[in-house]
Structure 1
Amino acid sequence: MIRNRVFRMTSALAAVSSLVLLLYVPAPAGAASAPSSASNAPAAQSAAIANEITLEHSGFRENGTLYISLRDLSSYLDLQLLWNPDKESLEVTGLYQAVSLKSGQAEAYTASGGVITLGGETLVRGGVTYVSDKLFSKAFGIPVSWRGGSTFSIPYASRYVLTRADRQLFWLNREYAVLYSGRSGMVPRYAGAVQAHDLDWVSMSARRINDGSYAVDIHNVSGEPHLSNTRWRLLITEGSVIRQAVTHYWNPRMYGLKEDVFAFQGNLVMMGGTTLRLVNPDGHIYKTYNLADITGIDDAYAVEAVDTDFLLVRTFQKGTLILIDRRTGHSVTLYRELLSAEDQAWLEAYPDTEIDYPGDGLSYAGREGDALSFEWTSFVKEQKVHFTYNLPPFIF
């Protein structure tokens, strides 16, 4: 009843190829890092030769002014856009300069109180905001040449990964792994260096913890042919990186490995290899778990659930879900408790070195009282099954 592994291998390789394409973030690294603050934008220096780009919307001239879609071009220039409802203005924030714009006005206002004359009003047409090309040359030091239609030329190559949480903005330099952060409409400042190298196919996200603290997650795929996955979680408090955790997964097989849960009872979940820490927003370590010591398995882990009395963690190589009693430190490998003897034998006979090795397939669905719910699809018959694991008053 075991599946044909040639078919499984072919399907898995196709899936991995598709995943790789989805993960790819095409932006070459540059050579310079931004200072913590600047009152004037420096001349464009990211690319010695102008890069020709095609935007979604065409440019046009009106009353002698060249107009360009602000959102389209900003993504190529490492600029972040955010509407300020209190001031009814659009904020354009870069590493060296931040300005605000209003529809119908021919000026941009800098974070330091300066005024930049654009030579043409900011226009909104068909839901698209168009600005004068002078915004980019005067405010950000990047001249833009129009080649006709939607084709433009810029002496700049994107070198940052961008994200935001509410009004807090973040930039990660691809080459030097340096993080910058600041409020929208303000020039950002240096937040810290990430313990990273070989940033290649990289993505980043951020979440707000409280008024002064944020968590930033970074995921990188590197190597040739991109077999290494690395995850970072950074704790940023009052504008500085005060803690960071990193886990390396030396294999392209990431199927079924979920992102680490975010937090529990106000403590940030920070997974570093085999060490799990629950960290207060101020950086104080509330609790530390050495998962290799607890489980006896020296592997990279992902954290799927944290509750008052238990943890659910998954090993990377074996792909098995493990329940840990937070009070006693004992652990249970759940598939041995929930799956039939036949299914356990099927899984244990399947080499975990194969790219399509499925892991145990158990998915945590929540708890009701002391009953933990799990969803599972059988290996051979592909039937969906619901399991319940009951926690006694004192586990084990």
Structure 2
Amino acid sequence: MIIQSKVSRRTAALFTASSLAAFLLAAAPAEGASAAAPSLAPAAAPSTAQKVPVQSVLTLEHAGFQENGATYVPLKDLSSSLDLQLLWNPGKSSLEVTGLYQAVSLKVGQPKAYTAAGKTIMLGAETLVRNGVTYVPDKLFSKAFGLPLAWEGGNRFSVAYTPKYMMTSAGRELFWLNREHGVLYSGQSGSVPLRAGVIRVADLDWASMSARRINSASYAVEIENASGEPHINNTRWRALVSGGSLVRQAKTHYWNPRMLGMKRDVFAFQGNVVMVDGQTVMLVNPDGHIYKTYNLLELTGINDAFAVEAVDSDFLLVRPFQKGTLILIDRRSGQTVELYKQLISAADQAWLKAYPDTEIDYPGDKLAYTGRSGDLLSFEWTSFTEGQKIHFTYMLSPLS
């Protein structure tokens, strides 16, 4: 049964849920968010027979300054530039700076830092907050992390280091991914992380990484990347870390600059993480064990990479990349339905069929799943030519 009704365009609204004190904003970046990358201008390397680290000049958002014989540098800016992660620990009222081989905590107004091993590092001057920005003596980076800094004046700093990692966090759990080799490290803020495993990444270019907590022992790490010229290779990875180890990973690659209508894969259903490996869908327990597997090539007969937009007890909603049309799969019978052929008019179907699916602005069927009530599934469709929002429903009963 199909029910159709027109609805008006929606007006998007953004609301700010909460605000933090200026000090906290300056001290710690938002959980799960990456700090803006500074510009890097490599300086000329010395000409010697030995391999010398390349000196890089960092142009940061905030300037340094000197006071009482100490050189002060912006903590948050430099941490993100040196593969260090910065978090505020409200329980201890301290800042935690965590790297791959060292982690320290420090407090505003104190001239020292404490390592994860309990050692004290004297900085020669106290940590300060000026105009909402946290500053530390430059000795923090040389003494704690072996990274001597040179203040070049203003907001320019030089250091013999080139960033090698993508970083993200989920709560207090921190992650680092080596961009070249795919080695993943994880651990709690304020402690030295451990190697979790290797994600089979390649050609990371326009890449982003995020993490999500599943339970006290398990996290999902997601990477999205566009590479090649003109960045027509789009790849998504989803990796599962449990007990500090990488226990499962999946990858889907889309070859085409057109990504219109390709939503991110649904994350989980009934406690199982949804992992899409090209044409294979796995429902995976948080510890990495596979609960259920679906072969989308066999079920749909379409030889393409897929995205999975919904999983429910009795159906899957999947979208092949090239054609971009939403397909309903009955999980019990294996039957499939191309929904646009059931919902939109014959004229609109003909319009879509005539549109070359190799064009960068090929829209796909523009159907979006919005939920269910009993056996009635709801979809919103945006018309191809007029941009109208139209609501459709589809009854599962004939398929089940």
TM-score by length of 2: 0.86
Quote the Cα distance in structure 2 between the aligned partners of 1:361 and 1:386.
Answer: 12
Aligned-CA RMSD value: 1.7
Deviation at 1:395, TM superposition (A): 2.1
8 Å CA contact retained: 1:335, 1:344: yes
Amino acid at match of 2:359: E
1:130 aligns with 2:121: no
Q: Tell me which of 372, 380, 399 is aligned to 1:395.
A: 399
Corresponding residue for residue 169 of structure 1: 174
Structure 1 residues 39-118: aligned runs within 5 Å = 48-118=53-123
| Matched residue SS, 1:348 | helix
Quote the Cα distance in structure 2 between the aligned partners of 1:136 and 1:200.
Answer: 28
Amino acid at match of 1:152: F
Q: Tell me which of 318, 323, 342 is aligned to 1:337.
A: 342
8 Å CA contact retained: 2:382, 2:388: yes
- Structure 1 pair 265/207, CA: closer, same or farther in 2 (3 Å)? same
Corresponding residue for residue 280 of structure 2: 275
Quote the Cα distance in structure 2 between the aligned partners of 1:326 and 1:204.
Answer: 31
Corresponding residue for residue 163 of structure 2: 158
Q: For residues 107-129 of structure 1, what are the alpha-carbon distances to aligned partners after superposition, in whole Å with 9 as ceiling and x for unaligned?
A: 11000111111000011122211
- Structure 1 pair 374/146, CA: closer, same or farther in 2 (3 Å)? same
Corresponding residue for residue 260 of structure 1: 265
Quote the Cα distance in structure 1 between the aligned partners of 2:70 and 2:361.
Answer: 57
Quote the Cα distance in structure 2 between the aligned partners of 1:121 and 1:336.
Answer: 68
Aligned length: 356
1:323 aligns with 2:328: yes
Quote the Cα distance in structure 2 between the aligned partners of 1:26 and 1:342.
Answer: 51
| Matched residue SS, 2:393 | strand
| Matched residue SS, 1:121 | coil
Amino acid at match of 1:132: P
Quote the Cα distance in structure 2 between the aligned partners of 1:201 and 1:245.
Answer: 19
Q: Tell me which of 338, 349, 352 is aligned to 2:354.
A: 349
5+ residue gaps in structure 1? 1-23, 29-44
Deviation at 1:242, TM superposition (A): 0.6
Corresponding residue for residue 296 of structure 1: 301
Quote the Cα distance in structure 2 between the aligned partners of 1:310 and 1:27.
Answer: 47
Corresponding residue for residue 8 of structure 1: none
8 Å CA contact retained: 1:51, 1:157: yes
| Matched residue SS, 2:140 | helix
5+ residue gaps in structure 2? 1-35, 41-49
8 Å CA contact retained: 1:46, 1:155: no
TM-score by length of 1: 0.87
Quote the Cα distance in structure 1 between the aligned partners of 2:131 and 2:362.
Answer: 50
Corresponding residue for residue 370 of structure 1: 375
| Matched residue SS, 2:86 | strand
Q: For residues 18-69 of structure 1, what are the alpha-carbon distances to aligned partners after superposition, in whole Å with 9 as ceiling and x for unaligned?
A: xxxxxx98899xxxxxxxxxxxxxxxx9972311111111111111010111
| Matched residue SS, 1:320 | coil
Between 1:146-155 and 1:107-116, the stretch displaced more is 146-155
Give aligned-pair identity as a percent.
Answer: 68
